[in-house]
Structure 1
Amino acid sequence: MKKKEIRSYFLNERKNISSQKLDELSRESSDCFFNNFDLKSIKCAHIFLPIPLKAEINTKYLIDRFWNDYPSIDISIPKSDLNNLTIDSYYFTPTTVLEENPWKIPEPMHARPTPHELIDLVFLPMLAFDKKGFRVGYGKGFYDRFLGTCRANVLKVGLAYFPSIDIIEDVDQYDIPMNYCIVGKELYRF
């Protein structure tokens, strides 16, 4: 399938998941990450905040665990430039004030920018992914552009609700594959 078809199919599939199941998968994904990754070399993790209207993986479980169990790791969150379709990253603490942008995405206000070269780990939102580690998001390319500004060796971990599909037929030169993807209790390696 091509990205447009995949996007349409998985947006519809996501609507059929109960809020209880969404929460369960979010908790399992967080547990799976912390059970499978050695964080000794991680100093800064970029974590997306879920868009409530899109029923994305709830990254609150990851963030809370980092804050409680790994306080030496800085957390950074995105802020979107809707005109240029780019993302900047900002340090995130328990006192950071959030405000929804016009697309209803929670974003930091008056936070300190995170230099992209200091980010060691990026969690990626998505609708679907394939067996080669390529992902389908909402179609604007925000995260592929963002990853292009990070170090080449940044660790890329996707968070998804559904198992991988075989192949995304229209991957292009701007698509950046993930290193891993987590679906509940399952870890995919690429």
Structure 2
Amino acid sequence: MTKAELRRNYKRKRSLLSEAQISLFNAGILNQLLQFDWNGNHYVHTFLPIVGQNEPDMWSFITNTRIYYPDIHIVVSRSELKDRSMKHFLLADNVVLEENVWGIVEPVDGETVAETLLDVVLVPLLVVDKAGNRIGYGKGFYDRFLAKCRSDCQKIGVSLFEPVEKIDDVDPLDVPLDMVITPYSAIPFSR
């Protein structure tokens, strides 16, 4: 299937999930993330969920990381609409968060973090294929961002659904993931 077809199908699938299903899926994703050994990582970037889009709840992961890995710096982004880039900030207790035009909660300001410092990026998506190619909302923000990260930065997708076989129209500028976390598994992609 094409990106447009998959995007439409998985947005619909996600919108039809009940609160009970979303809660169960979020618990499974958190369980998968907690099985990782996060030692040795200094900067972990995560997305903040768009609740209205039933995105995975990353707040529980943030809370657990702060408790069990207090030396890890949690980093979140703000979308720069003028050039479709992202600016990254430490998620400190005093950071003010506001909702943008797409319903994404973002930092207003704070201490900036360069992409080259990131050890892990947890990436939102609608669906991913078995080669690690992801489909987001189609604006290209994450592909531009991930292209600036170090080659050893782990790019880990977080998905409510298992991977599909293949995305038919992968673009050369699409940045593939190293792994995807689903409610039931952690699936590495070979390169």
The correspondence of residues 171-190 of structure 1 with structure 2, limited to 5 A, is 171-190=170-189
* Residue in structure 2 matched with residue 42 of structure 1 by the alignment: 41
* Residue in structure 2 matched with residue 16 of structure 1 by the alignment: 16
* Residue in structure 2 matched with residue 146 of structure 1 by the alignment: 145
Distance 2:8 2:48 in 1: 22
Q: CA deviation at 1:82?
A: 1.3
* Residue in structure 2 matched with residue 74 of structure 1 by the alignment: 73
* Secondary structure at the counterpart of residue 29 of structure 1: helix
8 Å Cα contact 2:97-2:107 kept in structure 1: yes
Distance 2:130 2:141 in 1: 22
Distance 1:117 1:23 in 2: 34
Distance 2:127 2:149 in 1: 22
8 Å Cα contact 2:89-2:109 kept in structure 1: no
* Secondary structure at the counterpart of residue 32 of structure 1: helix
Q: What per-residue deviation string (whole Å, max 9, x for no partner) do you get for residues 126-149 of structure 1?
A: 000000011000001110100011
Distance 1:52 1:158 in 2: 18
The correspondence of residues 1-190 of structure 1 with structure 2, limited to 5 A, is 1-35=1-35, 37-190=36-189
Q: What per-residue deviation string (whole Å, max 9, x for no partner) do you get for residues 6-32 of structure 1?
A: 000000101111122112211211211
TM-score for both structures, normalised by structure 1: 0.96
Q: What per-residue deviation string (whole Å, max 9, x for no partner) do you get for residues 79-135 of structure 1?
A: 001121111110002332101112221111221101111110000000000000110
Letter in 2 for 1:104: G
* Secondary structure at the counterpart of residue 110 of structure 1: coil
Distance 2:144 2:184 in 1: 29
Which 5+ residue runs of structure 1 have no aligned equivalent?
Answer: none
8 Å Cα contact 2:26-2:56 kept in structure 1: yes
**Cα RMSD (Å) of the superposition?**
1.0
Runs (4+) of structure 1 exceeding 6 A deviation are none
Letter in 1 for 2:175: I
Q: State percent identity of aligned pairs.
A: 33
